[in-house]
Amino acid sequence: MKHTKRWLLTGVAVIAIVGLGYVARASHYKTHFLNDTQIDGINVGGQTAAEAAQSVNTKLRHQRYTVVDKTQTLTQFSAHQLGIKPYTTAQVRRLIDKQNAYTWPAHMTTAAASTHQLGQKAIDRTDLNKVSTQIVSLADNANRTPTRNAKLVYKNQAFVIQKEVYGSQVSRTSVNQAITSAVSHHQSQIDLKAAYVKPTVLASSRSLKNAKKTAIKLSKNKITYTLANKKNTLPEARIASFLTTANGHVSVNQKSVEAYLIKLSYTYGTVHQTRHFKTHSGTYVNVPAGLYGWSIKVTAETPKLSKLILAGKPVTRTPIIQGTGYHKNGQDFGSTYVEVSKASQHMWVHKNGRVIISTDVVTGKPPKGTTPSGVYVVWSKQRHATLRGLNDDGSKYASPVSYWMPVDDTGVGIHDSPWQPRYGGSWYVSHGSHGCVNTPPSVMAQVYANVPLKTPVVIY
């Protein structure tokens, strides 16, 4: 019995001693790092915060990084150049405060080693950008293969997915990532290959495959334009050429649509056309384009057509038109217009196919004031206007008129001219206007009353 008590007392004493040792050791690790603890790759086990900060900062002061391009060294830089600042004792102490001191027995082996990463958080973004910008410059992207995303292309009358290209170019962002990763993993050598820009869209992408199906469906849609009694249906290949993909989504290339509408406008529009005009006498003359005529308002129609393409529904429409003289039946300026012959120095007002006014006029004095030939339009009408400009000698003139009808955008128009003593013949050669069509006051009132706005004016 006495023997048993002796062993019992001995066991209690051992447990007490072990317990006191365990507590004492735990107390020690409240101010020291647990065994095998690492900070930025430095073993600081058993060290105080001050000692650990000194250990890490000593390595930091001497830390250099080497960028290798294949087998050559591209450049080197230091931790200081990355703006990695020395760690304070307070920063390191916070790590000690977070550890569980009572788990110290588990840290007697490397199995439970703690690792802390401070380097990544300490990099200064501005300094990092400076270093990466220099690396990008040294890498010389001009002589490297660019990275390309997989994309949808229309080739040989079919949509195909063009595979991605893994290039060898680098960017500031990709270099930043490579440097940050190297610092985080305590790697002093950085392979430039790790910074190659990678494609973000792959040929295997489900979104790209779905985009292909969508594009095929949209290209088969029927979109028809009606223009001046003519129909123009967009071919499947044309619609297909408008479609593009971005991040796996089908969209419309606005510039391609705009180019198509410009061409369509030039094909059907009249504002730029030379007219084969039948004169009052029945002969034909070619009259160059002027202000009169219409065209497609491309800037307004482009988003309209783009939206219709993506809608994927059959549609027939007339595009947004600008200018004057558009008729659904395809007619140009019809049978109501003003005709001015510079050679004959005469003007005729045609109304519904019948000449209602015929008068001699005086056009511009050649060569400087020659009235421009073209198909123009009465775009304004004004009573009691004062016409201003410069005479041949450079002096200014101000001529009051009772009726003013401008027809172009340079100041040429039709108006009365009480200062002219005669009209017709060759009078214009020496006494012509500055470009306007001078009309006898006795006739001009009739012209003004019978020629409404937007009436075509053919001058040849």
Catalytic residues: 415, 436
CA 358-364-367 angle, 5° bins: 140
| DSSP state string for 188-252 | SEEEGGGGBPPPSS-TT-HHHHHHHHHHHHHHT--EEEEETTEEEEPPHHHHHHHEEEETTEEEE
Residue 298 and residue 280: Cα distance in Å, rounded? 36
Cβ-Cβ contacts under 8 Å for 459 (sequence gap 6 or more): 287, 290, 340, 342, 371, 372, 373, 374, 375, 376, 407, 437
- Whole-number Å distance between alpha carbons of 197 and 117: 26
Q: Is the peptide bond before 146 cis (omega within 30 degrees of 0)?
A: no
**What is the bridge-based pairing of β-strands 38-39 and 115-116?**
parallel
Among the listed residues 347, 349, 370, 359, the one whose alpha carbon sits nearest the alpha carbon of residue 428: 370
**How crowded is the C-beta side of 192, counted as CA atoms within 13 Å?**
26
DSSP letter at 86 equals: P
The DSSP annotation for 257-314 comes to HHHHHHHHHHHH--TTPPEEEE-TTS-EEEE-B-S--EEE-HHHHHHHHHHHHHHT--
Cα distances (Å, whole numbers) of residue 366 to 108, 228, 345, 416, 433: 109, 38, 13, 20, 9
Q: Is 96 helix (H, G, I), strand (E, B) or coil?
A: helix
Residues written for the chain: 460
